[in-house]
Amino acid sequence: MNDFTIIWKNLFRKKLRTTLMLIAIFVAFFLYGMLASVGQAFDSPGSSDDKNRMVTLNKINFTQFLPISYYDRVARVKGVTQASHSNWFGAFFQDNKNVIVSFAVDPPTYLAIYKEFDMPDAERKAFLGDRTGLAVGRAVADKYGWKVGQTVPISSNIFSQKNGSHSWDFKIDAIFDNSKVKGRDGLMIFHYDYYNETVSFGRDNIGLIVFSTETPAINDAVAKNIDAMFANSPYETSTDTAEAFSKSFIAQLGNIKLIISLVVGAAFVTILLIVGNTMVMAIRERTREIGVFKTLGFSGQRIFTQIVAEALLLSLLGGLLGLSCAVPALLLINKISAGAISGLTVQPIVFVKGLGWMVFLGLVTAALPAWSAMRLNIVTALGRK
Amino acid sequence: MLYQLRNVSKRFTKAKETLTIFDNLNMDIPEGDFVAMMGPSGSGKTTLLNILGGIDKVTSGEVSFAGNRIDGYSEGQLSEWRAANVGFIFQFYNLMPMLSAAQNVELPLMLTNLSGAKRKENVATALNIVNLSDRAKHYPREMSGGQQQRVAIARAMVSDPQLLLCDEPTGDLDRTTADEILTTLQVLNRELGKTIVMVTHDPEAARYAKRTLHLNKGVFEDKMVMA
Ligand SMILES: Nc1ncnc2c1ncn2[C@@H]1O[C@H](COP(=O)(O)OP(=O)(O)O)[C@@H](O)[C@H]1O
Ligand SMILES: [Mg+2]
């Protein structure tokens, strides 16, 4: 027998009480793991983007179009090494609940910029050469069980074909992964030409122009030049880094981080009070036993350490279990959303911070009872029946 | 001389009122003694036992154990001194409910440097002496009062202290069980030479001791208090 035996047996002497505390801590850290990871995902939406990747949009907002002619002009701006364009398609598969992030793009230039979309050479070649071809991100392909070679009807909640149909048939030529950020492949792309020739309205319009600069150092100057070029035209532009664009896009979803902090904070304060109060009660019930330990010759410090260790053990058990369960839960969300919220995993930073909070919880809830146990007078303790 | 108490006074001050438990008490206890201490409730028996065991402090006076003044010891020094020299036996056994009999007995050995194997051996010996080897894995709630008190005795003697201090060890037990416990204490005194100070209400219990002291209102009513 060693001190750990005593600590462990003390912790589980009242199984129901300890179980309830463990559940409270579990729930709080499960919530924390989930929400902090979601917050983290929103915090770094541009991390897959290169620093020299930039985006030109209609100045009014990102739902407004630009004429395709702007693409050629941006491509020729000094400092721009590679340009492409894309168009939000508003796609869904069969049921309009099955929303799929998808863009009508110019495939050769688009894939030259988005080098992280990684597909086998043969599939890439097939996709580039097939006007009605579709390149599907792994998450989407997995969700719908799609294979290369299959033809799928994709509908749009914005556009329709000249023949009145809302649905386009695409042949799946390629399935790609994101080689830079694992799992950030919940999207698909197809040929702008196919879309532009068949669409019933909005011909020769594009949603945005994406391009690479020679070096991030000239980003600001290039942006200024481009926006100046189109100033006072019917379609004024706004140019910024792709990373900044993603961030501002997210900002429109509301201050998610603040809400997350409030929810997690409230849960945390609640368990702090519950566990703190329960620890005080639990140790008070043991007053006499603590008196006996001291009578036997156990020092006040040793008893202090035992109680702190007991509280740490409690919060680490509940907390680590909660954080660990957040991992499969996020995987599930990832699967259901087909990667729409990209990069959703419990990141190491969330784990480390969580561990810090567990230690904090253990120390704070143990502090008062451990201190009074250390100071406890033996005669007083033994006198209490 | 194992114990020498000289001019020991103990007072409690509460709300400006001073309650004197003893005033200038003197007492000697030689090694190998078995003293029964009797007296009415509130006469200060427990307080005196606590002073002997170094868990309560005197207000003034000297307490020497084996020639060393322990009344000036710090909390830490007293802790170590108790672990090495004193075994306590209480009226209500005071076993740890979450530990088995063997684990309860092992507790004092956690304060020694003995190896795991040696500890196991000592625990087994102690449980054997109190005739509870077959209950080693049982928890206090699974044992009778008499059995629990025997575990407590095993715990008090497992680290081989010179002194056993017992505060009404049979106060909660029936006659037969009490006699068993008292016989065990007598054996420990006679065969192993343990010095025992036992507080009791029970004149029958006092008969197991070598001598009996009567404490009343903080004063011994006996002549042979000093050796
Ligand atoms: N902490 C204390 N504060 C004030 N009075 C106390 C305290 N502890 C004991 N006493 C008093 O000291 C007297 C002796 O108590 P105690 O030693 O327990 O007597 P006994 O064990 O002989 O019944 C009692 O009158 C008791 O009320
Ligand atoms: Mg008493």
> What spacing in Å lies between the alpha carbon of B215 and ligand 2's midpoint?
12
Percent of chain A residues past pLDDT 90, beyond the cut: 68
How confident is the model over B155-182, as pLDDT tens digits? 999 999 999 999 999 988 899 999 999 9
Confidence at residue A215, expressed as pLDDT on a 0 to 100 scale: 92
Q: Does B96 touch chain A (CB under 8 A)?
A: yes
* Residue pair B171/B200 in contact by the 8 Å Cβ criterion: yes
Ligand 1 contact via B17 beta carbon (within 6 Å): no
pLDDT at A252 over 70: no
* Residue pair A103/A55 in contact by the 8 Å Cβ criterion: no
Q: Does B106 touch chain A (CB under 8 A)?
A: yes
Confidence at residue B38, expressed as pLDDT on a 0 to 100 scale: 94
CA A180 centroid distance within chain: 15
The strand pairing partners of A168, in sequence order, are A154
Count Cβ atoms below 10 Å from residue A377 Cβ, excluding itself: 13
Hunting for tokens 């065990």 — which residue is that?
B184
Based on its alpha-carbon atoms, the radius of gyration of chain A, rounded to whole angstroms, reads: 29
SS3 for chain B, per residue?
CCEEEEEEEEEEEECCEEEEEEEEEEEEECCCCEEEEECCCCCCHHHHHHHHCCCCCCCEEEEEECCEECCCCCHHHHHHHHHHHEEEECCCCCCCCCCCHHHHHHHHHHHCCCCHHHHHHHHHHHHHHCCCHHHCCCCHHHCCHHHHHHHHHHHHHCCCCCEEEEECCCCCCCHHHHHHHHHHHHHHHHHHCCEEEEECCCHHHHCCCCEEEEEECCEECCCCCCC
Q: Element (H or E) spanning A190, and its range?
A: strand A187-191
Q: What pLDDT band is residue A338 in, cutting at 50, 70 and 90?
A: low
* Residue pair A272/A366 in contact by the 8 Å Cβ criterion: no
* Residue pair A172/A146 in contact by the 8 Å Cβ criterion: yes
Residue nearest to ligand 1 atom 18, measured at CA: B46
How confident is the model over B67-89, as pLDDT tens digits? 999 999 999 999 999 999 999 99
The SS3 call for residue A228 is: helix
Instruction: Write the DSSP symbol of residue A132.
Output: T
Confidence at residue A179, expressed as pLDDT on a 0 to 100 scale: 86
Count Cβ atoms below 10 Å from residue A30 Cβ, excluding itself: 20
Of A161, A152, A362, nearest to A268 (Cα)? Answer: A362
How confident is the model over A69-122, as pLDDT tens digits? 999 999 999 999 999 999 999 899 998 888 898 999 999 999 999 999 999 999
Confidence at residue B225, expressed as pLDDT on a 0 to 100 scale: 64
Hunting for tokens 């009872």 — which residue is that?
A369
Average pLDDT of chain A?
A: 89
- B31-58+74-224 adopts what CATH topology? Rossmann fold (3.40.50)
Please report residues of B whose CB lies closer than 8 A to that of A288: 94
Of B156, B132, B155, nearest to B144 (Cα)? Answer: B132
Q: What pLDDT band is residue A44 in, cutting at 50, 70 and 90?
A: low
Kindly state the average pLDDT of the residues A292-298: 96
More confident residue, A45 or B47: B47
Contacts of A120 (CB under 8 A, 6+ apart): A174
Residue nearest to ligand 1 atom 2, measured at CA: B12
Confidence at residue A34, expressed as pLDDT on a 0 to 100 scale: 86
Q: How far is B55 from chain A (nearest CA, A)?
A: 6
- Tell me which of A202-216, A238-252, B160-174 is least confident: A238-252
Confidence at residue A260, expressed as pLDDT on a 0 to 100 scale: 78
Q: How far is B124 from chain A (nearest CA, A)?
A: 14
A334 token code pair: 């990832």
Residues in chain B: 227
Q: Does B227 touch chain A (CB under 8 A)?
A: no
Hunting for tokens 């980003």 — which residue is that?
A219
Kindly state the average pLDDT of the residues A264-279: 91
- Per-domain residue ranges of chain B: 31-58+74-224
Contacts of B96 (CB under 8 A, 6+ apart): A6, A289, A292, B103, B104, B107, B140
> What spacing in Å lies between the alpha carbon of B19 and ligand 2's midpoint?
16
Q: For the full predicted model, state whether its pTM sits above 0.80.
A: no
Find the closest chain A residue to B81 by CA distance.
Answer: A297
CA atoms of A65 and B149, how far apart (whole Å): 89
Sign (positive/negative) of CA torsion A226, A232, A237, A238? positive
Percent of chain A residues past pLDDT 70, beyond the cut: 93
pLDDT at A385 over 50: no
Q: What pLDDT band is residue A307 in, cutting at 50, 70 and 90?
A: very high
Inter-chain touch B103–A5, beta carbons under 8 Å: yes
Confidence at residue A103, expressed as pLDDT on a 0 to 100 scale: 94
Phi-psi category of residue B11: left, alpha or beta, with phi > 0 → left and psi -120 to 50 → alpha:
beta
Average pLDDT of chain B?
A: 92
Cα-based distances in Å from A130 to A146, A206, A227, B185: 18, 21, 34, 99
A258 token code pair: 């603040």
Contacts of A1 (CB under 8 A, 6+ apart): B99, B103, B106, B110
CA B110 centroid distance within chain: 20
Q: Half-sphere exposure of residue B207, counting CA atoms within 13 Å on the CB side?
A: 6
Q: Does A90 touch chain B (CB under 8 A)?
A: no
Count Cβ atoms below 10 Å from residue A385 Cβ, excluding itself: 5
Cα-based distances in Å from A197 to A107, A158, A324: 16, 16, 50
